[in-house]
Amino acid sequence: MKTNGVLMLGVCLLTLTMCRFMDTKKGVPNEQINSDLNNKTVKFNGGKDQWYFSPDYEKCFLVEDAEVTASDALVAVRVSSWYQSDITKLYMTAIGEMLLHYKKDGDNNWVLERIEPRDATLAGISDEEEFKQFLDKHTPVCKGFRHTSY
């Protein structure tokens, strides 16, 4: 019976160790990515175009790939965002890819260090049919995570 108790204790310790190791590989939660993008301006196309991720705009993203270690995470996301301008009545749209660079702090929390824009299409759309075409590209991105304030 003592052997079974020692064996059970060993199995429990092994399970806890493996769970802890697996936990460090989880990566950055979608809710944190959403929060980290809020109020960020990302410059695309060598800095000539930029997009401001306002908490008041619709924003969707889909994690396409993530490389996670115990201390770093590189998260490749496809983002899509839009709003309708009250002044020009244009639908302002952004869709494209970014690489988010994260580090772990001393409390094991993920901290966004920088955003590396990959490619993006930014446009002002006035035609309803063109906007519907944008939404056809936007909607699949929203399967990952969708934030809207309305």
Residues 6+ apart with CB under 8 A from 33: 61, 63, 75, 77, 100, 145
Q: What is the pLDDT of residues 73-84, one digit of tens each?
A: 999 999 999 999
Boundaries of every domain in the chain: 27-147
Structure tokens that stand for 84 in this block: 């309708």
Count CB atoms within 10 A of the CB of residue 128: 9
The whole-model pTM stands at 0.79
Lowest mean pLDDT among 76-85, 91-100, 104-113, 133-142: 104-113
| First-last CA distance in the chain | 62
Residue 75 to residues 9, 26, 45, 82, 96: CA-CA distances in angstroms? Answer: 37, 12, 20, 22, 14
Q: What is the mean pLDDT of residues 127-140?
A: 96
Q: What is the CATH number that goes with domain 27-147?
A: 3.10.450
